[in-house]
Amino acid sequence: MKQKIFWTLSLLIITITSHSQDSKITAELNYPIPIDNNFLGENFNGIVDLGIKFRFIDLNPIKVGASFNGGILTRKTDFQGANVSNYILQPRIFGELNLESIEKIHPHLGLGYTIMVFDFAGGSDNQNGFNLNFGFTYDFSEKFFAQLQYDFVRLGVEDNVPNTKFNTNVNILKIGIGYRL
C-alpha cells in the first residue's frame, strides 16, 4: 500500500516539475459528502478534502493536467466501540474546457485511481479502485472560484465480500472553493 502511494506521488511530482514553467496551479478546499445507498454513504460523514491541480498542456479550448485530492471522512457512529476514519487519496488526469462564450464557468472531466485507508483502533483496511470525476468551477475573480464536483469510485472487493453495488460503488459530492496560484 505504501509503495503504491509513494510511486503515485513520485509520478505526480515528476510530471509537475518537468512542466512547471508552463503549468497553471490551483489549490482547492472542499467539503466531501458521501451520497447514495452504499456502505460509505450510509455510514460516513465528510470532514475535508484538499486538492491541487496542475495544467501542463493547452489544447485550446481544452487544458489537460494532473490533480491530486486528499480527503477525510469519519464514521457517523462508533463501529464496535471504535471510531473509524477514512483517508482518501485520489491522483488523476483531467481535462478542463475553457470557452470564451462562458468564460466564468469551466467544466472538467477526470479519470484516476482512488485509495481509501480505513483507520480504526484495531488496525486499518485498504480499498482501491478506479475513479471518474466530473464537475465545474465558477470564477468569482481571476484568482478565486467556487466548484462543484462528483466522484464515482468503483472499488474492487476481497474474496469474502459480496460483489454488489452496495460494496463496490462509491459516490462523493464535493462542494468547495479554490485559488489560482
pLDDT by 10-residue block (mean), the chain, 181 residues? 59 50 79 88 90 94 96 78 87 94 94 94 87 96 95 84 79 96 88
Exposed e or buried b per residue across 124-161, where buried means at least 16 C-beta atoms within 10 angstroms of its C-beta = eeebbbebebebbbeeeeeeebebebebbbebeeeeee
What is the pLDDT, as a whole number, of residue 19? 42
Q: Specify the number of domains making up the chain.
A: 1
What is the pLDDT, as a whole number, of residue 21? 39
CATH number of the domain residue 175 falls in: 2.40.160.20
Domain range for 172: 2-180
Phi, psi of 168 (to 5 degrees): -115, -25
What is the pLDDT, as a whole number, of residue 41? 79
What is the pLDDT, as a whole number, of residue 22? 40
* Distance separating alpha carbons of residues 22 and 19, to the nearest angstrom: 6
| pTM, full prediction | 0.81
What is the pLDDT, as a whole number, of residue 9? 56
Residue holding cell 493547452? 58
Residue 138 C-alpha cell reads as: 465558477
Sign of the torsion formed by the C-alpha atoms of 12, 14, 15 and 17: positive
What is the pLDDT, as a whole number, of residue 15? 54
What is the pLDDT, as a whole number, of residue 79? 57
* Distance separating alpha carbons of residues 130 and 115, to the nearest angstrom: 9
Q: For residue 167, what is the DSSP state?
A: H
Residue holding cell 487544458? 63
What is the pLDDT, as a whole number, of residue 68? 98
